[in-house]
Amino acid sequence: MKIEGVIFKEGEIPKKLFKIISGTVRETRKKTYHDLTSGDYVALLEYLTGIPLEEDIVAIDESEIVDVNWEDEYKGIVRKVVELRKIVYQTSVDVDNIVLEDFEFENVDLDEYLDQIESLLTLSAGELPDDKQDAIKMIEQLEDDKLITKVNLVRRFLEKFPQENVGARLLIETASKVYIILNDKFLAKALLKKVLLYFPNELEYCYEALKALEGIYRDEGNILWKRYQKSAKVIEVMLRGNA
Amino acid sequence: METLDFAPGEIIIKNGEKGKYVYIIKSGTVKSKTGLYESTLSDKNPDVFGIEALIGEAYTETCTAINEVKVIRCETEEFMEIYAKTDVGKKALESFMKRTAKALGWI
């Protein structure tokens, strides 16, 4: 059947198992949504366990779903749960046994991305002054309508003054503006990850960057937010230890 | 299909290992670890583990005998033919889903 809007209501225990043929269905648990698409099962957790739904489950665009039997879909259900389990491992950080791998965040080639934007917009950021204070002033004085130029200048600042911690602050401030004004999650995340890569010893900035990353991933319904939340907790404990 | 015995502390299946068997607990208690989440499986339901083998995937949890454990070890085809469409099969899905949801922090 084709449907748009509420499929199951908050508090309901699904008595039917629906498989998505097309469209997007949104489930929300613990205030975090995740979108289901073709081949996914709607409210699989609540259907199998009999736990009432925390919030409405909604087809956010016109979706086609079919009523199926768990018996016929046995292996398909196992496959979907295994996919979820893989996420558990992707998002787990064992705070007692941290290994380097826990801090290997997704690869983002920010420079390549910015080069593409620059060539598209034929923007020129101009040269940064050799004096650090003048360079900071130039970056900070740029208006919000020149945000991409600002991002470019921050990038150049990091190249020119790699040892300067103020670079971390510039990255975080610029990322926050990019996210709020341009709503460019990709770019904002990339800038924040640069803080972790360039300033791993600046724990306060790393903490701020991780909390911001957690927020962005949470907003986009990407369960990777848990990884950043846990990493932020680790840094928080380290910061307390240093206090 | 065969019945196997495991001593306390013995690992029955290991996360990441590709197996070809599904296990049904006949008696005893098993600790299951998925990521950082641990749960206890027992003969009460009875609990089943290792169902990743049904789709040719590696196990996603490590299951260790807590006490003397007896399990029925089934080939995947046997499990599909004999148990999948029964109450044991449904409970296996339910328990697998619930453990996953807990590990994800959904419940």
pLDDT, residue A122, reads: 47
Tell me the three state secondary structure of residue A69. Answer: coil
Averaged over A102-125, what is the pLDDT? 57
Closest CA to A140 of A179, A174, A117, A182: A174
The answer to whether residues A231 and A210 touch, using CB atoms and an 8 Å cutoff, is yes
Over range A167-185, report the average pLDDT. 91
How many residue pairs from chains A and B have C-beta atoms closer than 8 A? 76
Model confidence at A42, pLDDT cuts 50, 70, 90, reads: very high
**pLDDT confidence of residue A120:** 53
pLDDT, tens digit, for every residue of B1-43? 999 999 999 999 999 999 899 999 999 999 999 887 889 999 8
Write the CA distances from B75 to B4, B19, B53, B83, integer angstroms. 13, 10, 9, 11
> What is the model's pLDDT at position A236?
86
Q: Which two tokens stand for residue A21?
A: 């043929």
Q: What's at A21, amino acid-wise?
A: I
Rounded to a whole number of angstroms, the distance from the CA of A85 to the nearest CA of chain B is 6
Output A130 or B48, whichever has higher pLDDT: B48
CB-based contact, A13 to chain B, within 8 Å: no
Q: Which amino acid is at A93?
A: V
Measured between beta carbons, the chain A residues lying within 8 angstroms of B100 are 81, 84-85, 88
Query: Would you call A74 and B89 a contact, using CB atoms and an 8 Å cutoff?
Result: yes
List of domains in chain B: 2-98 (2.60.120.10)
- Is pTM beyond 0.80? Reply is no
State the Cα–Cα distance between residues B45 and A7, nearest whole angstrom: 31
Nearest by Cα to A80 from A48, A54, A52: A48
Low-confidence winner among A40-44, A196-200, B18-22 (lowest mean pLDDT): A196-200
Q: What is the ipTM of this complex?
A: 0.96
Neighbours of A101 (CB within 10 A): 7
Give the minimum alpha-carbon distance from A36 to chain B in angstroms, rounded to a whole number: 16
Average pLDDT over residues A215-227: 84
Using pLDDT thresholds of 50, 70 and 90, give the confidence band for residue A200.
Answer: confident
Q: Give the C-alpha separation, A15 to A52, whole Å.
A: 11
Please state the separation of Cα A80 from the chain's center in Å. 22
**C-alpha distance from residue A171 to each of A39, A201, B97 (Å):** 40, 15, 41
Q: Which domains are delineated in chain A?
A: 2-91 (2.60.120.10), 100-242 (1.25.40)
Nearest neighbour of B60 by CB, restricted to A74, A77, A82: A82
